[in-house]
Chains A and B, each alone.
Chain A
């Protein structure tokens, strides 16, 4: 069933048929439906997320961007009544298979939230937390420094590692959260509007960081900010809310193509600011 699709040229094919799992695909979503109790939040999502690239999920409020993002690391499992149908393959493995431990998934697919949420612990302990709970045996000081450097925060905090993470500025807190996510060396980093609570300078810093990090990580970012998607992402997926109020995917493509030559008029309407 999947062999025939290897010939597909566009990596982000939205065909209803199960997508191919090629080496440059990290996440592959097939016919995904998501319910909160009786409410259908997502309908028929098909999407491939490319390895070592930034994929942006854009769309109006209520289009299910964040919900889709949370399907990728099974965070929706924590919501009572949440139910997922369809398939999400992570490096070819079905993350919703009954034998899969969701904590294992979350270890490989990290997440950065909309509002910076450092633990009320020291900068050091924030970064070390994920390593400690996963029984990290190596040199913790090195691992913490490496992660903070990756998040472009080391120089600003190296003299106050023992201070509370909450004493940092908002932008620094968000980079601390990125360092915390990077520390456990995931394959994917999901970012749920990571800059929406930040000032423009901090926002740019986060965007630069995404560009920098995508050399080693696969990044999926939800954003309301179309300039951000245009600036920082390689691929863009446009979602919208259907008549039944369920979110669904309208169009996926390279960011360049989506912003210059959208195929669907709803996408065009959204990116030109005519609705949403």
Chain B
């Protein structure tokens, strides 16, 4: 008995020493881990600033020769080919219209469809169906964009071409904004539905109960209680999806064409900002020339676009927030 007690006491002393040693090691470890994580955070910030700085400095060369005004509001984009008088044109509006056109078409598909899917999954679907559909949607989000591009080009476009447009319109071209926009809409549906659904599921059950207890139907609960309460998350999902559509490259390069044109007619062939950057980067334009620097000017504008979308998103989220 007594020996036992002594043994236990020494054990305890050992344990105490162990503890303090561990604590010392733990503290060192803690500091190391702290700095490691801090370094990672700093790295991503530095990278972001690096990208912005490189965009700015490279496009500075461009804007030294082309006035900002002409770039932003010019209506002809022809930085490589010369027109009949031998001039090049650096008005970016045709590229912007192409990008916005495709993104708007995508949003027109993805916002209603994604929201409907989210409402179905969050409010209507039995648990079993929800657990089946959600992963499938997320697989859809993981398909490489080049696959979507070929899907648009070789499946959707030929299908759309069967719709008779004459005598109102010319026939649908092989490369057109419509096909790219619709398929891009499909592509970003999972983003809208998944994020929106997360936001709706996070709405407390007690709010639903309160509405049901007042004689609300499931649809009324969904549209008047859950959607407004989840609106900040839903709007955020729209903005993210729209940003994604603006930045998307492969799909528009493959399916929407390479014809910069200031138009909002979806059946025309257009060129998106990203598609132009690909075209130029793959070409034989020598580095450091004005033509080459257009990449950075367009890239900078693209960056400004997505940044603007995010700021707008933040604003909308704060404006419409129903805090619960």
A and B associate: yes
**How far does the Cβ of B275 sit from chain A's closest Cβ, in whole Å?**
43
Question: Given A120-B207, A121-B322: A133 and B212 within 8 A (CB)?
Answer: no
A33 to B207, CA, bound (A): 28
How far apart are A101's CB and chain B's nearest CB, in angstroms? 9
Q: Which of A78, A106, A166 contacts B214 (CB 8 A)?
A: A106
Is the pair B212, A130 in contact by a Cβ cutoff of 8 Å?
Answer: no
Question: Is residue A10 contacting chain B, with contact meaning CB distance below 8 A?
Answer: no
With a cutoff of 8 Å between Cβ atoms, the chain B residues found around residue A134 in the complex are: 215
B126 within 8 Å of A (CB atoms): yes
CB–CB B212/A75 < 8 A: yes
| B213 and A119 contacting across the interface, CB-CB below 8 Å | no
CA distance A184 to B212 in the complex (A): 13
The answer to whether B324 touches A113, judged by C-beta atoms less than 8 angstroms apart, is no
* Contact status A181-B204, CB under 8 Å: no
The docked-state distance in angstroms from the alpha carbon of A110 to that of B213 is: 6
Partner among A117, A133, A166 whose Cβ is within 8 Å of the Cβ of B216: A133
Chain B residues near A180 (CB-CB < 8 A): 210, 214
B126 close to A80 (CB less than 8 A) = yes
Q: A37: shortest Cβ distance to chain B, in Å?
A: 13
A119 touches B217 (CB 8 A): no
**Residue in A80, A103, A107, A181 whose beta carbon sits within 8 Å of that of B127 in the complex:** A80
User: Chain A 97-134, CB within 8 Å of chain B: the 1/0 string?
Assistant: 00000011011001101010111110000000110011
Q: Which residues of B contact A129 (CB under 8 A)?
A: 211, 214, 224
- B126: nearest residue on chain A (CB-CB)? A80
Q: Give the Cβ gap from B76 to chain A, nearest Cβ, in Å.
A: 50
The verdict on A133 contacting B214 (CB below 8 Å), with A117-B207, A120-B324, A121-B322 known, is: yes
CB nearest to A77 among chain B residues: B212
User: Taking the nearest CB of chain A, how far is it from the CB of B214, in angstroms?
Assistant: 4
Which residues of A lie under 8 Å from residue B216 when comparing CB positions? Answer: 103, 130, 133
Find the A residue at minimum CB distance from B323.
A120
With A103-B217, A106-B215, A184-B214 as contacts: A120 and B126 at CB distance below 8 Å: no
Mostly helix, strand, loop or mixed at chain B's interface? helix
- Given the known A-B contacts A107-B215, A134-B215, are A115 and B210 also in contact in the complex, defined by CB atoms under 8 Å? no
| Binary A-proximity of B205-235 (CB < 8 A = 1, otherwise 0) | 0110111111111001000110011000000
Contacting residues, chain A, for B324 (C-beta < 8 A): 120, 166
Which chain B residue has the least Cβ–Cβ distance from A164?
B323
In the assembly, what is the distance between CA of A27 and CA of B207, in Å?
26
A121–B224 CA distance with the chains assembled, in angstroms: 11
Q: Known contacts A117-B204, A117-B207, A119-B207; is A107 also within 8 Å of B214 by CB? A: yes
Contact A133 B213 (CB under 8 A): no
Which residues of A lie under 8 Å from residue B224 when comparing CB positions? 129, 133
A177–B210 CB distance below 8 A:
yes
Contact of B210 among A73, A78, A113, A133 (CB under 8 A): A113
Binary interface encoding of chain A residues 50-82 relative to chain B, with 1 for a CB under 8 A from any of its CBs, else 0? 000000000000000000000001010010100
Q: Is the CB of A119 within 8 A of B211?
A: yes
Name the residue on B nearest A121 (C-beta): B322
User: B213 contacts which of A75, A80, A104, A118 (Cβ < 8 Å)?
Assistant: A75
CA distance A92 to B96 in the complex (A): 68
Hey, what's the 0/1 contact readout for B188-213 against A, CB within 8 Å counting as 1? 00000000000000001011011111
A269 to B266, CA, bound (A): 79
For B212, B215, B229, B324, the residue with the greatest tally of chain A CB atoms inside 10 Å of its CB is B215
Query: Taking CB as reference atom, which chain B residue is nearest A112?
Result: B213
How does the 8 Å CB contact mask read for A117-155 relative to B, with 1 for contact and 0 for none?
A: 111110000000110011000000000000000000000
Beta-carbon contact of A133 and B209 below 8 Å: no
Shortest A149–chain B CB gap in Å is: 19
Chain B residues with Cβ below 8 Å from A184 are 214-215
Instruction: Judge whether B323 and A104 touch: CB under 8 Å.
Output: no
Task: Provide the residues of chain A in CB contact with B126, threshold 8 Å.
Answer: 80
List, in ascending order, chain B residues with CB within 8 A of A115's CB.
206
Closest residue of chain A to B203 (Cβ to Cβ) is A120
Query: Can you list 5 pairs linking A and B with CB atoms under 8 Å apart?
Result: A107-B215, A113-B209, A133-B214, A133-B215, A184-B215
6 residue pairs, one from A and one from B, having the closest CB atoms: A107-B215, A120-B322, A130-B214, A111-B213, A117-B206, A120-B324
> Which residues in A have some Cβ–Cβ distance to B below 8 Å?
73, 75, 78, 80, 103-104, 106-107, 110-111, 113, 115, 117-121, 129-130, 133-134, 164, 166, 177, 180-181, 184
